[in-house]
A and B are shown apart, each in its own frame.
Chain A
Amino acid sequence: MALACGLAVPAAPALAQATIKVGVLHSLSGTMAISETVLKDVTLMAIEEINAKGGVLGKKLEAVVVDPASNWPLFAEKARQLLTQDKVAVVFGCWTSVSRKSVLPVFEELNGLLFYPVQYEGEELSKNVFYTGAAPNQQAIPAVEYLMSAEGGGAKRWVLLGTDYVYPRTTNKILRAFLKSKGVDEKDIDEKYTPFGHSDYQTIVADIKKFSGGGKTAVVSTINGDSNVPFYKELGNQGLKATDVPVVAFSVGEEELRGVDTKPLVGHLAAWNYFMSQKNPVNDEWKKEWATYAKKTKLANASKPLTNDPMEAAWIGIHMWKQAVEKAKTTDVDNVISAMAGQTFKAPSGITSMMDPKNHHLHKAVFIGEVKSDGQFNVVWKTAGPVKAKPWSPFIAGNDKKKDEPDGKTIITK
């Protein structure tokens, strides 16, 4: 706590005049530190890069890093502190949906600006938030469609397996409706949840095996955090191979596989909008920059620097914000929000990502990767081009009446 406050104090009052302050709100301790720490680092790297190129509107960016410690109410408290005491122009932060839901009222009340870089369940739209991660139709649904196809194995039965909280439950609700619309029977869908931090997947894996006796089965995993390690270990040990029962995961990326022996997992899948193994000049450049930065700042895993999808989303977010500020010629929140519409950025995933003119989500290409023995992913399928996000999933009743644009936006015309 003392550390976080210490960090939050501006470096020198004199400097404050010539800088633009930006908040970084990621857990640096607690259960989510595993995933969120790198997002803080990649944001700082972006700030350093922007400053080296002359800053924004002639001013340097100054990062205000706070640690909400994986504690959901503390997220709201820290967000309020960033907006009222530090008066930051924008905040980059959050990972879990529950932390985003916790800070949302604060940003709406104080008219702040949040960039949220992680894939999530949708069903939300706020004028104060830009969602640079995937909505369900940019990750979950294409993945399931792939597994249904001949190329993906032609799955007929589905196990929807997740950690017990809002993101998996909502995603599975959408997927269930989607599967039903594709003619999958109720008895061919098995939905299962485990508590946070669950580590004994023996029964679950045995159940999956039994279930797969009834026909070609695929598992859709929304298990979050480090529970994935024991789950995949158990899969490997019980001899459930990807060729028999493929598991597609939405929360497992390069960083999560760091602690796993991936040899028994070869062929299991993940759906993301970016993989580190993608070959294109932008990605090569970005990976090099990240490796250099990791070494220079002596990050814990500098010897094996990894990039992943949420890092890419965070990277796009901060650059788009910079472009929007330059377009609006001010950091005023309402002006920046309207300048964000239609911004484009050459993303490391190899496409030119565009911010939707209306719904605050990025247009993203979807990739499906198979785990390789070295812990990287091998892209086996991708969409033809960027897909527009549908935050209100058409598979949830009543969503067809909802507007594809947040309410209360100030229209700024120049």
Chain B
Amino acid sequence: MRILLIVLTFALGSCASAALAQDAKTVEKLAFGESAEKVEAVAALVAAGDEKSAALLQALADGELYTAGKRVLIVRGEDAMDAATGVKVAPLPEDREEITVNNRLRRELGRALAALKLVSPERGARFAAARELAGGAEPAMLPLVKKALAKETDSAIKRLLDQIAAALELKAGDREARLAAVRKLAASHNSNTKTLLLSFLEAEKDEDLRVEAQKSLREIEGRLAWGERAGIVFTSISLGSILLLAALGLAITYGLMGVINMAHGELIMVGAYTTYMVQNLFRGHAPGAFDWYLACAVPASFMVAALVGMALERSVIRWLYGRPLETLLATWGISLALIQGVRTIFGAANVQVENPVWMSGGIEVLANVVLPWSRTIIIFFAAAVLGGIWLLLTKTRLGLFVRGVTQNRAMASCVGVPTARVDTLAFGLGSGIAGLAGCALSQIGNVGPDLGQAYIVDSFMVVVLGGVGQLAGTVYAALGLGFANKLLEAWQGAVLAKIAVLVFIIFFIQRRPQGMFALKGRAVEV
């Protein structure tokens, strides 16, 4: 980094012509050098600081820089351009090879690009650059940061730059500057600042500075602790929403209809594979609309899983009503058949379901809390599915019939409810919701033939704990298990958390076999 300092001072003397003269040599170093030389070349390009250098660095970061023999090319699609001279090269040389970027170079590149973008006219670019540098700037960048700080008008970016400058002063400045920097850093939300202050405390001898640094550190730690708490709450709700989605379908087929459906997990899997198929269709036929394939996959996975469920009900399950043990065995057999069927069609390996762009990444709510979009969206999706079921069961004619048949099949039949058809439809609804769960799960986990096996036990746990026949119970149980799991995991690790939750459920069911919420009044028919 000493080199960067040298070239930066060199550049601040604004000696652009000399930098241009170096260009060919720098490009060569960038392309053919060892990584230490490459890092030097990056520093030289930052120093040059012109459009062309920035473009070259960007090309390297994007993997568009190639070597072909002795030449260095920037390749975009079918077009190639000589990196040193800017002359077009056609046709594309056959023997071209991408210049590899390793983590070390990638880090330098990221910071170099950020430093160049600090004075960009776009606010977004400046903000992103400041964020990147907040993760760790080099002392040599201080003049650049100060220059940007003087010009900056946006308060949010200004705050970030201020912090970056303070962090740099802490390493390099005199006592007064360090004291001011330590005080300034107390306002930081970044966990990197904590790291910085910790290492500062290790080295610093000055008592006053140490006291100030410790004060700042406590303030930052307090702020970070809130972030951690918020993080645990979010992960708990997220796990709860996933458990809820997986269990909702079962709450209908098992909870309301009383069918011990061991193939429930496989209906989730069918939904996930439907999502995979829809994704492939979009990729093949409408690549432009790929980001919106989920809009199509959600109804498709519902329909396919519902159809599979209805076919199962018609062909197998309806002959076994009232015989829970046979139902259990038969549906278990069906689950094995479905797994093997999928394995035969799609292969034993997992298939790749890609997240649309809007479901990748996350939103940063606090410095150390990032809420992944996929999980946030799934929480809302679970809530929407729950709302939909509630409306369907309480406000529609079908819902009325389902509840009627559940409560008293004979009486419902007497007053003209087509019980057989209601059974089929209700089972189809439960299966369809399992399909929706599969669609959601495909966005955060694996899609493979064994997908369902991982969720079947959890689903039954939620439904049984919540109380059979109760939608509200299912919701409370899912969220409760989510919180219990995540709190225990943060405290004791994932393995013990899983065991502890299982033990808890066993004791709970021992004490209260009917679950949290039991149906009151007369027992329903057997």
Contacts and interface: CB of A to CB of B under 8 A. Distances in A.
Contacts of B498: 195
A261 B34 CA distance: 30
A190 B340 CA distance: 40
Nearest to A216: B195
A158 B493 CA distance: 17
B191 A261 contact: no
A19 interface: no
Nearest to B221: A213
A37 interface: yes
A264 B360 contact: yes
B103 A203 contact: no
A267 B375 contact: no
Contacts of B107: 153, 243
Interface stretch (B204-212, B259-267, B350-358): B350-358
Interface in B353-370: 354-355, 360-362, 364, 368, 370
Interface residues of B, number: 58
A109 interface: no
Contacts of B490: 203, 207
Nearest to A38: B349
B235 A202 contact: yes
Interface stretch (A27-35, A329-337, A404-412): A27-35
A37 B449 CA distance: 15
A380 interface: yes
A207 B348 CA distance: 33
A193 B495 contact: yes
B354 A229 contact: no
A153 B102 CA distance: 10
Interface in B108-141: 110, 135
A260 interface: yes
B103 A243 contact: yes
A31 B110 CA distance: 40
A259 B447 contact: yes
Interface string A224-265: 001001100110111100111010000000010011110010
A127 B354 CA distance: 47
Interface in B497-522: 498
Contacts of A153: 103-104, 107
Contact of A244 (B135, B228, B447): B135
Nearest to A33: B348
Contacts of A238: 362, 370, 372
A206 B239 CA distance: 14
B194 A213 contact: yes
A238 B369 CA distance: 8
A84 interface: no
A34 B349 contact: yes
Interface in B434-453: 444-448, 450
A401 interface: no
B198 interface: yes
A229 to B, nearest CB: 5
Contacts of B374: 233, 237
Given A193-B493, A380-B100, A259 B191 contact: no
A230 B191 CA distance: 25
B360 A237 contact: yes
A152 B194 CA distance: 23
A164 B499 CA distance: 13
B163 interface: no
Contact of B350 (A200, A226, A267, A370): A226
Given A151-B35, A267-B103, A300-B347, A192 B493 contact: yes
B489 interface: yes
B350 A34 contact: yes
A101 interface: no
A195 B501 CA distance: 14
B231 interface: yes
Contacts of B232: 203, 206
A202 B238 contact: yes
Contacts of B444: 199, 230, 233
B370 A378 contact: no
Q: Which of A198, A229, A260, A378 has the most CB of B within 10 A?
A: A229
A204 B348 contact: no
B279 to A, nearest CB: 11
A210 B486 contact: no
Contact of B370 (A229, A239, A380): A239
Nearest to B194: A213
B238 A209 contact: no
Contacts of A259: 349-352, 446-448
A229 B347 contact: no
B477 to A, nearest CB: 17
B494 A151 contact: no
Contacts of B368: 209-210, 213
Interface string B276-291: 0000000000000000
A264 B362 CA distance: 12
Contacts of A243: 103, 106-107, 110
A264 B355 CA distance: 11
Contacts of B352: 258-261
Contacts of B445: 199, 229-230, 233
A373 interface: yes
B106 A215 contact: no
B199 interface: yes
A214 interface: yes
A194 interface: yes
A33 B450 CA distance: 11
Contacts of A258: 349-350, 352
Contacts of B350: 34, 226, 229, 258-259
Contacts of B448: 34, 226, 259
A111 interface: no
Nearest to A368: B102
A229 B349 contact: no
A229 B228 CA distance: 24
A197 interface: yes
B446 A210 contact: no
Interface string A278-304: 000000000000000000000011000
Given A34-B350, A259-B351, A373-B63, A267 B361 contact: no
A80 B293 CA distance: 51
Interface in B1-48: 35
Contacts of A260: 352
A261 B444 CA distance: 11
Contacts of A28: 348
Interface centre among A212, A243, A244 (most CB of B within 10 A): A243
A239 B372 CA distance: 9
Contact of B373 (A29, A203, A237, A264): A237
Given A203-B235, A203-B490, A213-B192, A237 B348 contact: no
15 contacts: A34-B350, A151-B104, A199-B446, A203-B494, A209-B191, A237-B360, A237-B361, A237-B373, A239-B370, A258-B350, A267-B102, A267-B103, A300-B346, A301-B347, A380-B103
Closest 4 CB pairs of A and B: A300-B347, A237-B372, A259-B350, A202-B235
